[in-house]
Protein backbone atom coordinates (compact mmCIF):
# COMPACT_ATOMS: atom_id res chain seq x y z
CA UNK A 1 0.00 0.00 0.00
CA UNK A 2 1.41 3.35 -1.07
CA UNK A 3 1.80 5.91 1.67
CA UNK A 4 3.09 9.45 1.50
CA UNK A 5 3.34 11.16 4.86
CA UNK A 6 4.08 14.86 5.22
CA UNK A 7 5.26 16.54 8.39
CA UNK A 8 6.81 19.77 9.56
CA UNK A 9 3.97 22.21 9.04
CA UNK A 10 2.95 24.71 11.68
CA UNK A 11 2.82 28.40 12.46
CA UNK A 12 5.70 30.72 11.67
CA UNK A 13 6.13 34.47 11.44
CA UNK A 14 6.81 36.21 8.16
CA UNK A 15 10.50 36.12 7.35
CA UNK A 16 10.97 32.86 9.21
CA UNK A 17 11.94 29.41 7.99
CA UNK A 18 10.50 25.93 8.11
CA UNK A 19 11.38 22.52 6.73
CA UNK A 20 8.75 20.14 5.44
CA UNK A 21 9.39 16.41 5.21
CA UNK A 22 7.72 13.75 3.08
CA UNK A 23 8.36 10.06 3.54
CA UNK A 24 7.20 7.54 0.95
CA UNK A 25 6.59 3.83 1.39
CA UNK A 26 5.03 0.99 -0.56
CA UNK A 27 5.77 2.50 -3.97
CA UNK A 28 5.54 -0.04 -6.82
CA UNK A 29 8.48 1.46 -8.72
CA UNK A 30 12.10 2.32 -7.95
CA UNK A 31 12.66 5.44 -10.04
CA UNK A 32 10.26 8.26 -9.29
CA UNK A 33 9.82 11.99 -9.28
CA UNK A 34 8.88 13.67 -6.01
CA UNK A 35 7.12 17.01 -5.82
CA UNK A 36 5.50 19.51 -3.51
CA UNK A 37 2.23 21.22 -4.28
CA UNK A 38 0.21 23.58 -2.12
CA UNK A 39 -3.35 24.74 -1.83
CA UNK A 40 -4.48 27.91 -0.14
CA UNK A 41 -8.10 28.45 0.98
CA UNK A 42 -10.32 29.18 -1.98
CA UNK A 43 -7.56 28.55 -4.50
CA UNK A 44 -6.56 25.71 -6.76
CA UNK A 45 -3.71 23.37 -5.90
CA UNK A 46 -0.50 24.75 -7.36
CA UNK A 47 2.95 23.42 -8.12
CA UNK A 48 5.74 24.39 -5.72
CA UNK A 49 8.79 22.27 -6.56
CA UNK A 50 9.85 18.93 -8.01
CA UNK A 51 12.99 16.83 -7.95
CA UNK A 52 14.13 13.98 -10.16
CA UNK A 53 15.32 10.59 -8.89
CA UNK A 54 18.99 11.55 -9.20
CA UNK A 55 18.43 14.93 -7.64
CA UNK A 56 20.15 16.45 -10.66
CA UNK A 57 17.02 18.08 -12.00
CA UNK A 58 14.90 20.39 -9.89
CA UNK A 59 12.18 22.82 -10.81
CA UNK A 60 10.49 25.54 -8.79
CA UNK A 61 7.47 27.77 -9.12
CA UNK A 62 8.48 31.36 -9.82
CA UNK A 63 6.88 32.48 -6.59
CA UNK A 64 9.28 30.40 -4.47
CA UNK A 65 12.53 30.55 -6.46
CA UNK A 66 15.42 31.70 -4.36
CA UNK A 67 13.51 31.06 -1.13
CA UNK A 68 12.63 27.35 -1.19
CA UNK A 69 14.97 24.40 -1.71
CA UNK A 70 13.87 20.88 -2.53
CA UNK A 71 16.04 17.85 -1.79
CA UNK A 72 15.71 14.11 -1.32
CA UNK A 73 17.44 11.09 0.18
CA UNK A 74 16.71 8.01 -1.88
CA UNK A 75 17.99 5.51 0.65
CA UNK A 76 14.95 6.18 2.81
CA UNK A 77 12.57 7.61 0.20
CA UNK A 78 12.41 10.97 1.94
CA UNK A 79 11.99 14.41 0.43
CA UNK A 80 12.48 17.79 2.04
CA UNK A 81 11.34 21.33 1.34
CA UNK A 82 13.39 23.99 3.07
CA UNK A 83 11.36 27.18 3.10
CA UNK A 84 13.10 30.46 3.93
CA UNK A 85 11.96 34.08 3.94
CA UNK A 86 8.38 32.93 4.34
CA UNK A 87 5.55 35.27 3.41
CA UNK A 88 1.88 35.27 4.42
CA UNK A 89 1.13 34.32 0.82
CA UNK A 90 2.91 31.01 1.42
CA UNK A 91 0.17 29.97 3.83
CA UNK A 92 -1.37 26.77 2.49
CA UNK A 93 -1.74 23.06 2.91
CA UNK A 94 1.40 21.52 1.45
CA UNK A 95 1.10 18.18 -0.32
CA UNK A 96 3.72 15.64 -1.27
CA UNK A 97 3.24 13.87 -4.61
CA UNK A 98 5.01 11.12 -6.52
CA UNK A 99 5.00 9.87 -10.13
CA UNK A 100 7.18 7.27 -11.85
CA UNK A 101 10.10 7.97 -14.19
CA UNK A 102 9.16 11.14 -16.10
CA UNK A 103 9.69 14.64 -14.71
CA UNK A 104 6.49 16.69 -14.44
CA UNK A 105 5.13 19.80 -12.77
CA UNK A 106 1.39 19.59 -13.43
CA UNK A 107 -1.04 18.57 -10.73
CA UNK A 108 -2.92 16.07 -12.91
CA UNK A 109 0.31 14.26 -13.82
CA UNK A 110 0.80 12.93 -10.31
CA UNK A 111 -1.09 9.88 -9.14
CA UNK A 112 0.13 9.45 -5.58
CA UNK A 113 -0.57 12.02 -2.91
CA UNK A 114 -0.10 12.55 0.79
CA UNK A 115 -2.74 13.95 3.10
CA UNK A 116 -1.03 17.32 3.37
CA UNK A 117 0.40 19.43 6.16
CA UNK A 118 -0.83 22.90 7.05
CA UNK A 119 1.70 25.70 7.12
CA UNK A 120 0.63 29.15 8.26
CA UNK A 121 2.73 32.29 7.97
CA UNK A 122 1.61 35.19 10.11
CA UNK A 123 2.33 38.80 9.23
User: What is the DSSP code string of 37-103?
Assistant: EEE-TTS--EEEEEE-TTS--EEE-TTTTTTEEEEEEGGGTEEEEEE-S--GGG-EEEEEEEEESS-
Q: What is the pLDDT of residues 20-29, one digit of tens each?
A: 999 999 999 8
Question: What is the distance between the alpha carbons of residues 65 and 8, in angstroms, rounded to a whole number?
Answer: 20
pLDDT per residue as tens digits for the range 64-119:
999 999 999 988 899 999 999 999 999 999 999 999 999 999 999 999 999 999 99
Q: CA quadruple 22, 16, 43, 41: dihedral positive or negative?
A: positive
Condensed to tens digits (0 to 9), the pLDDT of residues 2-12 reads 999 999 999 99
Amino acid sequence: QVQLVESGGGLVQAGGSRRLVCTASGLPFNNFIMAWFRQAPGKEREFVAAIAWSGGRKDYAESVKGRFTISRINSNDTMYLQMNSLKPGDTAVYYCAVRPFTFATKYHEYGYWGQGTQDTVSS
